[in-house]
Structure 1
Amino acid sequence: MKILLLGQHGQVSQALQQSLGRHIELTVLGREQLDLAKPHEIRQQVLQQRPALIINAAAHTAVDQAESEPELTFAINATAPGILAEAAAELGAPLIHYSTDYVFDGSKATPYHEADTPNPLSVYGRSKLAGEQAITAVGGSHLILRTSWVYSQHGKNFLLTMQRLLQERDSLNVVDDQIGAPTWAGTIAQTTAQLIERWHTGQSGPWGVYHLTAKGQASWFDFAKEIAAHLQSQGKRVATLHPIPSSAYPTPAQRPLNSRLDCSRLEHAWQVQLPDWQSALNECLHAAN
């Protein structure tokens, strides 16, 4: 089976390249080969490749930077996915696309379901929602997988930042009033591989929008405490952690306070099992050793 993977160096793409390598002809196009900010190139490239399945793991994910460059953000996160969906439909190939908890405003008291009304607070969130809508408008076979708080041993993310700062500083303030599910890129990739296998063997669930995160919930402060505990278990000295509210750490882009996503629909419809966030973090940390 020939799969076209868009995005090369991102966290999810790196994990997918490890999870999808077996029994699959995988073509990976990074920014150097296909710039998603140039819409006229997308359809031509995809039709030239003629894949059986397309995975879009490319995105403009610099949330704060997006506030000052909305046109570029929307080109990559909104316009490009729509064109990909059109090309996929033309080929009769399913499209798997990743979205985000940032499509919601975080004002709900309980975890978000797929049917809840989006209300993004940031340029990034609005662009990702527009990408979802563009894909849905085209129709065709597609999975839009919303995830949250993605981390791995690659790129820029909370895990790597905390590992560094915890060892560099004596004291560290971490936001404690934003709640979500830290989700390892490996979990996303492994689950995606299972979804592809279900589709390939005729056992797929309905196409559409699904939530895909680790189970459980944590604040950024809770997440930092787990990372610190792991460093301490290795005999390393770490900074003292202090919880602070979001108001004490202003950023250009507003974050949702509640980023919890209910993933039961994906588990039931596609027969996959998602790990709790602590187990996945432990697997990620031990895989790096």
Structure 2
Amino acid sequence: MKIIITGANGQLGSELKDILLKDSSKECFFLDRKQLPLDQPVLIQDILDIYQPDVIIHAGAYTAVDLAESESDLADIVNHQATDEIAQYCKINDVKLIAISTDYVFDGNSDRALREDAEVDPVNVYGLTKLKGEQAIQRWLPDGIIIRTSWVYSTYGKNFVKTMIKLMTDRDEISVINDQIGSPTYAHDLAKAISVIIDSEWLGGIYHYSNEGEISWYDFALAIRELKGLDCKVNAIPTSSYPTPAKRPCYSLLDKSKITRTYDLNIPTWKESLAIMLNKEEV
């Protein structure tokens, strides 16, 4: 089986590399932004054709949520137009596609865990461009798999966990938002779930994946402090006290029952996975 993974150097791409390269039955091609320039959609199909893949895992994206507000054209090119080209290629060449999307396609006004058929209404440019990417896949490739995830972190790349550790190490006191609710996703867990999907009967559609549990960013920060044994004071603040260029959904907890039922997955709790990640980082 030949597999292309876009976003090779991102958090998920790096975790997929750790997992998939151990499987000799798979020939994997990890393409970074130089090898597959998602900001140049006109080149994408010709580049993909070089590899003749059976499966594409599309993890590459424009993920600078705040910067997307001022770089909306670039965000649309990478998250929407490039995804459209990848979906077209998969349709023409009978290639399977797993594409990663986001909880930011929702407006955050729910009060219960969001199912895959919940109404979408992005509140920022990033979420809108990712939704357009989803729609392009569904238009060209109804049997494609879209996995929405949230609050991704890893031992690789930049993320909330690493930022909190640095701030709590450098400062005596920090403030963290306590009224945005969701659940973190350890990228290694998501990568394992994707590897299960690849080896299972193909059942297309939209799926939700994050770790189990419901927390705020403040709760997440407290757990990081506890597990790292730090003594920085952490203050809880509302979103209104920390304005950002891009609005965030206040509530974007994802309902994982569809993916667990379909692929018989056992999803770890967020704190369990956080502890594993932090222990790994210290090695």
Q: Scaled by the length of structure 1, what TM-score is found?
A: 0.95
Give the Cα separation in 2 of the matches to 1:81 and 1:279.
Answer: 33
Deviation, structure 1 residue 123: 0.2
Paired residues in the alignment total 280
DSSP-derived class of the 1:27 partner:
strand
Give the Cα separation in 1 of the matches to 2:254 and 2:142.
Answer: 25
Structure 2 residue 271 is the aligned partner of structure 1 residue 281: no
DSSP-derived class of the 2:240 partner:
helix
Deviation, structure 1 residue 155: 1.4
In the alignment, which of 61, 64, 68 is matched to residue 63 of structure 2?
61
Structure 2 residue 94 is the aligned partner of structure 1 residue 97: no
Moved over 6 A (4+): none
Give the Cα separation in 1 of the matches to 2:9 and 2:53.
Answer: 20
Structure 2 residue 5 is the aligned partner of structure 1 residue 5: yes
Give the Cα separation in 2 of the matches to 1:79 and 1:270.
Answer: 30
Deviation, structure 1 residue 275: 1.0
In the alignment, which of 28, 31, 38 is matched to residue 29 of structure 1?
31
Deviation, structure 1 residue 254: 0.2
Asked if the contact 1:231/1:238 (under 8 Å) is kept, the reply is no
Asked if the contact 1:93/1:141 (under 8 Å) is kept, the reply is no
Give the Cα separation in 2 of the matches to 1:58 and 1:47.
Answer: 18
Asked if the contact 1:56/1:97 (under 8 Å) is kept, the reply is yes
In the alignment, which of 227, 251, 259 is matched to residue 252 of structure 2?
259
Matches within 5 A, 1:54-203: 54-198=56-200, 203=201
Give the Cα separation in 1 of the matches to 2:18 and 2:151.
Answer: 20
**1:91–1:140 Cα change, 3 Å:** farther
The corresponding residue for 1:250 is 243
Amino acid at match of 1:28: F
DSSP-derived class of the 1:4 partner:
strand
Give the Cα separation in 1 of the matches to 2:46 and 2:66.
Answer: 32
The corresponding residue for 1:49 is 51
DSSP-derived class of the 2:174 partner:
strand
Asked if the contact 2:142/2:205 (under 8 Å) is kept, the reply is no
Deviation, structure 1 residue 141: 3.2
Structure 2 residue 265 is the aligned partner of structure 1 residue 272: yes
Q: CA RMSD in A?
A: 1.0
Amino acid at match of 2:111: A
Unaligned stretches of 5+ in structure 1? none
1:185-224: per-residue Cα shift (whole Å, max 9, x none)?
10110111111111xxxx34x2011101111111000000
The corresponding residue for 2:213 is 216
Q: Percent identity?
A: 39
Give the Cα separation in 1 of the matches to 2:107 and 2:162.
Answer: 26
Asked if the contact 1:166/1:172 (under 8 Å) is kept, the reply is yes
Unaligned stretches of 5+ in structure 2? none
